[in-house]
Protein backbone atom coordinates (compact mmCIF):
# COMPACT_ATOMS: atom_id res chain seq x y z
CA UNK A 1 0.00 0.00 0.00
CA UNK A 2 2.78 2.42 0.91
CA UNK A 3 5.79 2.95 -1.33
CA UNK A 4 8.03 4.10 1.50
CA UNK A 5 8.09 4.50 5.31
CA UNK A 6 7.87 8.25 4.74
CA UNK A 7 4.56 7.88 2.88
CA UNK A 8 3.16 5.68 5.66
CA UNK A 9 4.25 8.21 8.30
CA UNK A 10 2.77 11.10 6.28
CA UNK A 11 -0.56 9.28 5.95
CA UNK A 12 -0.67 8.47 9.65
CA UNK A 13 0.07 12.09 10.48
CA UNK A 14 -2.69 13.21 8.12
CA UNK A 15 -5.18 10.89 9.85
CA UNK A 16 -4.23 12.25 13.28
CA UNK A 17 -4.57 15.85 12.09
CA UNK A 18 -7.89 15.10 10.36
CA UNK A 19 -9.35 13.56 13.51
CA UNK A 20 -8.21 16.56 15.55
CA UNK A 21 -9.73 18.96 13.01
CA UNK A 22 -13.06 17.11 12.99
CA UNK A 23 -13.19 17.16 16.78
CA UNK A 24 -12.60 20.91 16.68
CA UNK A 25 -15.20 21.68 14.00
CA UNK A 26 -17.77 19.03 14.87
CA UNK A 27 -17.57 17.67 11.33
CA UNK A 28 -18.74 14.06 10.95
CA UNK A 29 -16.67 11.45 9.13
CA UNK A 30 -19.13 11.44 6.22
CA UNK A 31 -18.94 15.23 5.97
CA UNK A 32 -15.15 15.04 6.10
CA UNK A 33 -15.07 12.53 3.24
CA UNK A 34 -17.38 14.69 1.10
CA UNK A 35 -15.28 17.77 1.80
CA UNK A 36 -12.05 15.98 0.87
CA UNK A 37 -13.60 14.69 -2.36
CA UNK A 38 -14.69 18.21 -3.26
CA UNK A 39 -11.23 19.58 -2.50
CA UNK A 40 -9.57 16.86 -4.60
CA UNK A 41 -11.84 17.59 -7.55
CA UNK A 42 -11.16 21.31 -7.28
CA UNK A 43 -7.41 20.68 -7.07
CA UNK A 44 -7.52 18.38 -10.12
CA UNK A 45 -9.42 20.97 -12.17
CA UNK A 46 -7.10 23.81 -11.17
CA UNK A 47 -3.93 21.79 -11.73
CA UNK A 48 -5.10 20.74 -15.21
CA UNK A 49 -5.65 24.40 -16.11
CA UNK A 50 -2.24 25.38 -14.75
CA UNK A 51 -0.61 22.54 -16.67
CA UNK A 52 -2.01 23.92 -19.92
CA UNK A 53 -0.58 27.33 -19.02
CA UNK A 54 2.73 25.65 -18.23
CA UNK A 55 2.69 23.83 -21.56
CA UNK A 56 2.09 27.09 -23.37
CA UNK A 57 4.94 28.78 -21.50
CA UNK A 58 7.20 25.82 -22.31
CA UNK A 59 6.37 25.96 -26.01
CA UNK A 60 7.05 29.70 -26.00
CA UNK A 61 10.45 29.18 -24.38
CA UNK A 62 9.45 30.83 -21.08
CA UNK A 63 10.97 28.07 -18.99
CA UNK A 64 10.98 30.00 -15.72
CA UNK A 65 7.24 30.54 -15.92
CA UNK A 66 6.70 26.90 -16.90
CA UNK A 67 8.77 25.72 -13.94
CA UNK A 68 6.71 27.83 -11.54
CA UNK A 69 3.41 26.63 -13.04
CA UNK A 70 4.38 22.96 -12.97
CA UNK A 71 5.53 23.38 -9.37
CA UNK A 72 2.10 24.73 -8.49
CA UNK A 73 0.63 21.63 -10.13
CA UNK A 74 2.76 19.35 -7.96
CA UNK A 75 1.56 21.23 -4.88
CA UNK A 76 -2.09 20.77 -5.84
CA UNK A 77 -1.81 17.14 -7.01
CA UNK A 78 1.34 15.62 -5.57
CA UNK A 79 -0.03 12.16 -6.46
CA UNK A 80 0.09 12.80 -10.21
CA UNK A 81 3.43 11.76 -11.81
CA UNK A 82 2.65 13.72 -14.99
CA UNK A 83 3.38 17.03 -13.29
CA UNK A 84 6.76 15.80 -12.05
CA UNK A 85 7.59 14.58 -15.55
CA UNK A 86 6.69 17.98 -16.97
CA UNK A 87 8.79 19.79 -14.40
CA UNK A 88 11.72 17.44 -15.08
CA UNK A 89 11.57 18.43 -18.74
CA UNK A 90 11.68 22.15 -18.02
CA UNK A 91 14.34 21.62 -15.33
CA UNK A 92 16.59 20.16 -18.02
CA UNK A 93 16.05 23.29 -20.13
CA UNK A 94 16.98 25.48 -17.16
CA UNK A 95 20.05 23.33 -16.38
CA UNK A 96 18.56 22.38 -13.03
CA UNK A 97 19.91 18.89 -13.50
CA UNK A 98 19.62 17.65 -9.94
CA UNK A 99 16.03 18.85 -9.80
CA UNK A 100 15.34 17.01 -13.06
CA UNK A 101 16.77 13.81 -11.62
CA UNK A 102 14.70 14.19 -8.44
CA UNK A 103 11.47 14.89 -10.33
CA UNK A 104 11.97 11.98 -12.72
CA UNK A 105 12.63 9.74 -9.72
CA UNK A 106 9.44 10.98 -8.04
CA UNK A 107 7.49 10.21 -11.22
CA UNK A 108 8.91 6.68 -11.29
CA UNK A 109 8.09 6.07 -7.63
CA UNK A 110 4.48 7.15 -8.06
CA UNK A 111 3.45 4.38 -10.46
CA UNK A 112 3.56 3.12 -14.01
CA UNK A 113 2.77 6.36 -15.82
CA UNK A 114 5.20 6.50 -18.77
CA UNK A 115 8.23 5.01 -16.97
CA UNK A 116 10.29 5.06 -20.18
CA UNK A 117 9.99 8.84 -20.40
CA UNK A 118 10.82 9.22 -16.70
CA UNK A 119 13.90 7.01 -17.09
CA UNK A 120 14.95 8.91 -20.20
CA UNK A 121 14.72 12.29 -18.46
CA UNK A 122 16.54 11.00 -15.40
CA UNK A 123 19.24 9.60 -17.68
CA UNK A 124 19.61 13.01 -19.34
CA UNK A 125 19.98 14.75 -15.99
CA UNK A 126 22.48 12.20 -14.74
CA UNK A 127 24.45 12.45 -17.98
CA UNK A 128 24.80 16.24 -17.65
CA UNK A 129 25.93 15.76 -14.04
CA UNK A 130 28.58 13.26 -15.11
CA UNK A 131 26.85 10.36 -13.34
CA UNK A 132 27.36 8.20 -16.40
CA UNK A 133 27.09 4.75 -14.83
CA UNK A 134 23.64 5.59 -13.47
CA UNK A 135 22.69 7.32 -16.73
CA UNK A 136 23.60 4.20 -18.70
CA UNK A 137 21.44 2.07 -16.39
CA UNK A 138 18.48 4.40 -16.98
CA UNK A 139 18.96 4.44 -20.75
CA UNK A 140 19.14 0.63 -20.78
CA UNK A 141 15.90 0.31 -18.83
CA UNK A 142 14.20 2.94 -21.00
CA UNK A 143 15.21 1.08 -24.17
CA UNK A 144 13.86 -2.13 -22.70
CA UNK A 145 10.48 -0.43 -22.39
CA UNK A 146 10.63 1.42 -25.73
CA UNK A 147 13.00 -0.39 -28.11
CA UNK A 148 14.00 1.66 -31.11
CA UNK A 149 13.00 5.00 -29.59
CA UNK A 150 15.16 7.50 -31.47
CA UNK A 151 15.51 10.00 -28.60
CA UNK A 152 16.70 7.28 -26.23
CA UNK A 153 19.07 5.83 -28.83
CA UNK A 154 20.53 9.30 -29.43
CA UNK A 155 21.11 9.62 -25.70
CA UNK A 156 22.89 6.28 -25.63
CA UNK A 157 25.13 7.28 -28.53
CA UNK A 158 25.97 10.62 -26.91
CA UNK A 159 26.84 8.87 -23.68
CA UNK A 160 29.18 6.51 -25.54
CA UNK A 161 30.87 9.51 -27.14
CA UNK A 162 31.34 11.21 -23.79
CA UNK A 163 32.80 8.12 -22.17
CA UNK A 164 35.31 7.82 -25.02
CA UNK A 165 36.76 11.26 -24.23
CA UNK A 166 39.93 11.69 -22.23
CA UNK A 167 39.61 12.37 -18.51
CA UNK A 168 40.46 16.06 -19.00
CA UNK A 169 37.94 16.38 -21.82
CA UNK A 170 35.25 14.75 -19.70
CA UNK A 171 35.87 17.16 -16.82
CA UNK A 172 35.78 20.11 -19.22
CA UNK A 173 32.53 18.92 -20.82
CA UNK A 174 30.77 18.47 -17.48
CA UNK A 175 31.94 21.92 -16.36
CA UNK A 176 30.60 23.49 -19.57
CA UNK A 177 27.11 22.11 -18.99
CA UNK A 178 26.60 24.11 -15.83
CA UNK A 179 24.57 22.72 -12.94
CA UNK A 180 22.33 25.51 -11.73
CA UNK A 181 20.15 25.93 -8.66
CA UNK A 182 17.04 28.05 -8.07
CA UNK A 183 19.04 31.12 -6.91
CA UNK A 184 20.79 31.04 -10.29
CA UNK A 185 17.44 31.15 -12.09
CA UNK A 186 15.27 33.39 -9.96
CA UNK A 187 16.43 36.78 -8.80
CA UNK A 188 15.78 36.70 -5.08
CA UNK A 189 16.47 32.97 -4.92
CA UNK A 190 14.16 30.42 -3.36
CA UNK A 191 12.04 32.99 -1.45
CA UNK A 192 11.15 34.69 -4.74
CA UNK A 193 10.43 31.35 -6.39
CA UNK A 194 8.20 30.34 -3.49
CA UNK A 195 6.39 33.69 -3.63
CA UNK A 196 5.60 33.16 -7.31
CA UNK A 197 4.22 29.68 -6.67
CA UNK A 198 2.10 30.88 -3.76
CA UNK A 199 0.77 33.75 -5.86
CA UNK A 200 -0.55 31.20 -8.35
CA UNK A 201 -1.91 28.85 -5.69
CA UNK A 202 -3.52 31.60 -3.66
CA UNK A 203 -2.24 30.04 -0.45
CA UNK A 204 1.07 29.04 1.17
CA UNK A 205 3.10 26.21 -0.35
CA UNK A 206 2.50 22.99 1.63
CA UNK A 207 5.49 22.02 3.72
The tens digit of pLDDT for each residue in 47-72 reads 889 999 999 999 999 999 999 999 99
* Range with the poorest average pLDDT among 33-42, 135-144, 157-166, 182-191: 33-42
CA dihedral (61, 156, 159, 110) in degrees, to 10, reads 60
CATH number, span 113-179: 1.25.40
Cβ–Cβ < 8 Å for 58, 87: no
Cα separation, 84 vs 92, whole angstroms = 12
Long-range CB pairs of 129-138 (<8 Å, 24+ gap) are 129/97, 129/98, 129/101, 129/174, 129/179, 130/170, 130/174, 132/159, 132/162, 132/163, 135/159
Residue of 21 and 189 predicted with greater confidence: 189
Give the model's pLDDT for residue 33: 47
Sequence spans of domains, the chain: 29-96+185-202, 113-179
Is residue 111 very low, low, confident or very high in pLDDT (cuts 50, 70, 90)? confident
Amino acid sequence: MYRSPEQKAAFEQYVVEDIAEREKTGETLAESVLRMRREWVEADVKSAKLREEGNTAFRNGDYKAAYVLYTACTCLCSHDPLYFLNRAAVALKLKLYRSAVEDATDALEQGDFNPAKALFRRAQGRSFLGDWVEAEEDYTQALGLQPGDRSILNGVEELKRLRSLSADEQVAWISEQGNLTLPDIFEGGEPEFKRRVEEILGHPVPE
